Amino acid sequence: MGFTKINGKMVEAQVVPGQRLFSQRGAMLAYSGDVRFTPNITGGQGGVMSMIGRRVANEDTPLMTVEGQGRVMFGHGGHHVHVIDLFGDTLYVEADRLLAFEGTLRQSTMFMGSQGGVMGMVRGQVTGQGLFTTKLEGHGSVAVMAHGGVFELPIVPGQEVHVDPQAYVAHRGDVRNKLSTALGWRDMIGRGSGEAFQLELSGQGAVYVQASEEKL
Amino acid sequence: MSYPPQPPYGSPHDQPTQPGFVVPPPPPNHGPQPGYPQQGGYPSQGGYPQQGGYPQQGGYQTPPPHQPPPPPHQAYAQEQFGGPIAPLPTAQGGDGPVVHDVHSLPVNDNVNPYAFSVELNGSYFLQKGKMVAYYGDITFKGVGAGMVDRMLGQHFNSPMHASDWVVAEGRGKLLLADRAFDLNSYDLEDGNLTVRSGNLLAFDPTLRLKQSIIPGFLTLIGTGRFVAASNGPVHFVEPPIRVDPQALVGWADCPAPCHHYDHDYMHGLIGGIRRLTGLGGASGEEHQFEFIGAGQVLLQSSEKLMAERSVGVVGAEAGVPMGGVPSQPGSAGHGGGNPNLPGLGNLGDLGRRFGL
């Protein structure tokens, strides 16, 4: 299982009976074999309550269930795709960046305020994540979209990583993040460097950064 | 398109000379080529362009012609700049700007994923507005010029909108690009390849271009090379396969595709409700092109279409598909990705609009 990268913008997934995949609607490029695509009303896993949660949290990207036997190629919008394998750890990512993920992963919605209170909410606004973000945990693979290539920066204790909020894609592991501001008098008069807000991540894990400051 | 008429190109000798631009001397056994502005237009001495910020080592000159040819660009740079400067990045590395000249440009190959360099000696067909730069003595002729019309007759065996195409004639190097889409060249050897009309950029005149029976596609037949663009790199797959219509770039050798509709989830009780109310939406993957047989299918890595080119209208005639009908009814609508499903009741697009 898992996703195989075909090129920077395309992944291939093996679909075997009994194991579901979720993917963004319309992201299938081609498939061979006997594969069915069913629109997923609940927008992922966890039943109706999770669906309501996602709707409220605006994390309800239209998803479809992919079942059957064969291989499927995914790609969307010409965005770069990055495959992240999870081994029991947690990935935090915006729902609209999810291209596809395996059904073995548990999907839930997380309130940004639960990571750092009010500052977490401010952070969500600045990064464009909003007040909520999607959490995936368990064992499995995730294909995440980004504008421009993605690179992974490891986060080790005692060495925090600063990321431009617009270039932030996702992070995994036990990571605390906070918004650090470097506002000076220059910013007040509109002569700032344009980098007044930074995301400071510390702890143990990794952060995925895209080589662009453009949103999806 | 954004293609200016011929006069601005003119002959290469009245191109504005760029101060400080050095054309490296030709290799020794490289005869003077009548097309290339080696001596005429450019000053033979002077500084290298300063844009790179390299330290200038005091007025270096062009090496005399009897020296070994300046082969790869890096060695040339080393020789010129001396000193332990960082090696010039290569085109693939993406580490910085690469300075190309007429000799370092590849011959009929990609300069980078988004630009293609054609060594022109004779004529070449290209779509309007795809030329970004050229070296040498090249003229671009639209339709209406007598010579060109004769060539069109030979190679455009279709009621193509020939006005979308120009013929480049002369010798030199021609750089093609299209809105930073990925470019690839394909060699055909006595083969055939069908490609979406908007994706085709240029082709050898040894190939013959025909309009495919599938609307919006063009078929190239013969031996030669052509250049096509794609949104994201092209991936080759072999049939049997079903392909999202928007991700299809073209196919080679296999029989024309057929439509495949997939409404499995419309069955059963839940499916019935879904069908009647439109609740639940569509997966967006109900419709594919199915390929069978032997051959190759070309996929692009995204379902974002490139703008299609009109390939003209087939005359109304019994037995001709799309006869008399414009081949792209609403050419922009193709990218919608959500066909109007008959099963969605009278709600039409409402269900999807509400995210259901």
Tens digit of each residue's pLDDT (9 = 90 or more) over A107-128: 888 776 666 566 666 666 666 6
DSSP H helices in A8-156: 47-57, 117-127
The percentage of residues in chain A with a pLDDT greater than 70, rounded to a whole number, is 75
Q: What is the pLDDT of residues B37-52, one digit of tens each?
A: 444 334 434 444 444 3
pLDDT class for B131, splitting at 50, 70, 90?
confident
Nearest in space to A100 (alpha carbons), one of A5, A189, A183, A205: A5
Confidence (pLDDT) at A188: 65
Q: Average pLDDT for residues B322-347, to the nearest whole number?
A: 46
- Residue A200, judged by CB atoms within 10 A of its CB (0-12, 13-18, 19+), counts as middle
Confidence (pLDDT) at B132: 87
How far is residue B299's CA from residue B241's CA, in Å, rounded to a whole number?
Answer: 11
Q: Which of A7, A31, A64 sits opposite B283 (nearest CB)?
A: A64
How far is residue B306's CA from residue B250's CA, in Å, rounded to a whole number?
Answer: 13
Asked if pLDDT for residue A13 goes beyond 90, the answer is yes
Asked if pLDDT for residue A196 goes beyond 80, the answer is no
How far is residue B23's CA from residue B58's CA, in Å, rounded to a whole number?
Answer: 18
How far is residue A69's CA from residue A21's CA, in Å, rounded to a whole number?
Answer: 11
Q: Rounded mean pLDDT of chain A?
A: 82
From A177's Cα to the closest Cα of chain B, the distance in A is 31
Chain A residues in contact with B304 by the CB 8 A cut-off are 77-78
Q: Which of B233, B247, B356 sits opposite A29 (nearest CB)?
A: B247
Confidence (pLDDT) at A83: 93
Q: What angle (nearest 5°) sits at the alpha carbon of residue B129, between those of residues B165 and B227?
A: 70
pTM more than 0.90: no
From A162's Cα to the closest Cα of chain B, the distance in A is 23
Q: Average pLDDT for residues A12-41, to the nearest whole number?
A: 88
Q: Is A127 strand, coil or helix?
A: helix
Q: What is the pLDDT of residues A124-182, one digit of tens each?
A: 666 666 667 888 999 999 999 998 889 999 999 988 888 888 888 899 988 887 777 76
Q: Average pLDDT for residues A16-21, to the nearest whole number?
A: 90
Confidence (pLDDT) at B52: 39
Nearest residue of A to residue B245, measured between CA atoms = A29
Confidence (pLDDT) at A140: 92
Asked if pLDDT for residue B55 goes beyond 80, the answer is no
Residue B77's CB: how many other CB atoms inside 10 A? 18
Q: Residues of B144-168 as b/e, b for ≥16 C-beta within 10 angstroms? A: ebeebeebbeebbebebebebbbbb
Contact: B303, A76; criterion CB under 8 Å: yes
Q: Which of A7-11, B15-19, B70-74, B212-216 has the highest mean pLDDT?
A: A7-11
From B346's Cα to the closest Cα of chain A, the distance in A is 19
Q: Average pLDDT for residues A86-99, to the nearest whole number?
A: 89
Q: Average pLDDT for residues B50-61, to the nearest whole number?
A: 40
Chain B residues in contact with A79 by the CB 8 A cut-off are 302
From B173's Cα to the closest Cα of chain A, the distance in A is 29
Asked if pLDDT for residue A84 goes beyond 90, the answer is yes
Chain B residues in contact with A41 by the CB 8 A cut-off are 279-281, 356
Chain B residues in contact with A212 by the CB 8 A cut-off are none
Confidence (pLDDT) at A214: 81
How far is residue A171's CA from residue A208's CA, in Å, rounded to a whole number?
Answer: 6
Confidence (pLDDT) at B34: 43
Asked if pLDDT for residue B123 goes beyond 50, the answer is yes
Q: Average pLDDT for residues A44-56, to the nearest whole number?
A: 68
Asked if pLDDT for residue B129 goes beyond 90, the answer is no
**Looking at residue B180, what DSSP letter applies?**
T
**Looking at residue B269, what DSSP letter applies?**
H
Contact: A7, B240; criterion CB under 8 Å: no
The residue ranking higher by pLDDT, B249 or B67, is B249
How far is residue B169's CA from residue B131's CA, in Å, rounded to a whole number?
Answer: 13
Q: Which of A8, A31, A62 sits opposite B281 (nearest CB)?
A: A62
Nearest residue of B to residue A29, measured between CA atoms = B244
Asked if pLDDT for residue B331 goes beyond 60, the answer is no
Confidence (pLDDT) at A183: 64
Contact: A26, B284; criterion CB under 8 Å: yes
Nearest in space to A206 (alpha carbons), one of A122, A59, A83, A90: A90
- Residue A160, judged by CB atoms within 10 A of its CB (0-12, 13-18, 19+), counts as middle
DSSP H helices in chain A: 47-57, 117-127, 185-188
Asked if pLDDT for residue B203 goes beyond 60, the answer is yes
Nearest in space to B104 (alpha carbons), one of B117, B122, B85: B117
Nearest in space to B125 (alpha carbons), one of B90, B154, B92, B97: B154
Cβ atoms of residues B290 and B144 within 8 Å: no
Q: What is the pLDDT of residues B132-174, one digit of tens each?
A: 889 999 988 876 556 666 666 666 665 555 667 788 888 999 9
Confidence (pLDDT) at B260: 85
Contact: A10, B301; criterion CB under 8 Å: yes
Nearest in space to B216 (alpha carbons), one of B234, B204, B199, B240: B199
Q: Rounded mean pLDDT of chain B?
A: 67
| Number of CB pairs, chain A paired with chain B, less than 8 A apart | 105
Confidence (pLDDT) at B274: 65
How far is residue B295's CA from residue B240's CA, in Å, rounded to a whole number?
Answer: 9
Non-local (6+) Cβ contacts of A52 within 8 A are none
The residue ranking higher by pLDDT, B88 or A31, is A31
- Residue B330, judged by CB atoms within 10 A of its CB (0-12, 13-18, 19+), counts as exposed
Cβ atoms of residues B247 and B304 within 8 Å: no
Tell me which of B230, B273, B301 to substitute to probe the interface with A (most A C-beta atoms closer than 10 Å).
B301
pLDDT class for A102, splitting at 50, 70, 90?
very high
Cβ atoms of residues A49 and A43 within 8 Å: no
Non-local (6+) Cβ contacts of B123 within 8 A are B151, B167, B168, B169, B205
Chain B residues in contact with A39 by the CB 8 A cut-off are 265, 280-284
Q: What are phi and psi of B326, to 5 degrees?
A: -55, 140
Residue type, A122: V
Confidence (pLDDT) at A116: 59
Confidence (pLDDT) at B159: 55
Q: What are phi and psi of B139, to 5 degrees?
A: -115, 145
Q: Average pLDDT for residues B79-88, to the nearest whole number?
A: 42
